[in-house]
Amino acid sequence: MHAGADAGSDRLPAGLSRLRLIFILAAVAALGPLSIDMYLPSLPALQHYFATDAATTQLTLAAYFVGLALGQIFYGPIADGLGRKPPLLFGLALYTLASLACLFAASMTQLIGLRLLQALGGCAGMVVSRAIVRDCFGESSMARVLSLLLLIMGVAPVLAPLLGGVLFEHFSWRAIFLVLTLYGGLCCTLIALGIPETLRGPRHRPSLAHALQAYRKLIRHRRFMGYALAGSVAQAGMFVYISASSFVFIEVYHLTPSQYAALFGLNAFGLICASQLNSRALDRVPAQHLLRRALRSNASAGLLMVLAVYLTQSPLWLIVPLFFCVASLGFSFPNSTAAAMAPFGDRAGAASALLGTLQFVIASLSSSLAARLYDGSARPMALVIAGCGLCALLLLRVLAPPLPQPTSASR
């Protein structure tokens, strides 16, 4: 590894401004939130349109999570071997074509399969975006850049349900996938014309042996796994909320689709604010301390959600701790990602891929569990979210315990 030599400096390619890079990467990374959140208000209607049940309908989300998990593991070594742009452009093209095919889905089974294909393309943006950040920014800047990306990406969860609700009410659910098709084409254009290749050093032909060696070294790195697993399990709680909340708040608490979209936007706003507070706090507090505090807050809010759904019938007592549970991810996501990837400058693609795969394997399993446990109440959602928070805190404590603080003489 050679990360240590350049951990403190930015390494932007000539002619590429920091602002332009962050804007384009955020646009590409927003494919995930848009693809997940835009059609949430129409999930109950999709259930009735295809004459199926809630659990099967939620598989359109679970399939997307599975596709994100499976695809990333392949893109990482390719991005380390051939460069960042070729796999990114291929993935965005596949995403765009799959989104177009979703327009013509004639059954829920077809839609689930196409959502899997859509995710297999879209996940390239998630893997390669993180690798490009690692290419261009030193360790001291990574968490701040990731927080800024989270700010820009946070607009997507605010606007996506609102836009999706409008498209569904005035046209149909198919119009949502038309917009995603156009957005995928826009991202292809931005990457092709707006960002040069950022991978430095010699290229090599990707091979299975090389990929397995890279992943084996990452898996054996205890602190990488600690940060990666803790961040992934905490983030899984948010995906449980994403997949289950429309049924909980629309069917259980009888909110309208517009009211639900506003609630979803409020939680996304909390996530945005937290990410920017994190960026400022990094000037005074080490990232690992912020991460631990965020996970404690996440677990505490999850437990309060469980108390709320068992002791009251009012949605307000659930909404308040849910807001803080989602907002805590504005601290845990950038800090866990930066801490996990910082030591791996020469394997940033593989580290990003394994990190993303863990995130979405765990998210898929957690979302599927919540879907199978759904009993017409908010209890399964609250229980699984609380369980994710507690497990994340435990994993971080066991695999990545606090590092000793440097003394004043060593600073």
Radius of gyration of the chain (CA): 20
pLDDT tens, 101-144? 998 888 889 999 999 999 999 888 888 888 888 777 765 677 77
How crowded is residue 258: how many other Cβ atoms within 10 Å of its Cβ? 14
pLDDT score of 7: 42
Lowest mean pLDDT among 94-103, 188-197, 202-211, 224-233: 202-211
Whole-angstrom CA distances from 252 to 255, 309, 314, 378 are 8, 11, 11, 7
pLDDT score of 411: 44
- What is the residue-wise DSSP string for 271-290? HHHHHHHHHHHTTTS-HHHH
More confident residue, 150 or 193: 193
Q: Which residues contact 390 (CB under 8 A, 6 or more apart)?
A: 299, 302, 303
Q: 164 near 41, Cβ under 8 Å?
A: yes
pLDDT score of 384: 95
Tell me the pLDDT band of 3, cut-offs 50, 70 and 90: very low
| Domain annotation for the chain: domains and CATH numbers | 17-197+207-400 (1.20.1250.20)
Place of tokens 């009211």: 259
With DSSP H G I counted as helix, E B as strand and the rest as coil, what are the percentages for the chain, rounded to 5? 80, 0, 20
Nearest to 333 by CA among 386, 279, 381: 279
* Distance (Å, whole) CA 394 – CA 388: 10
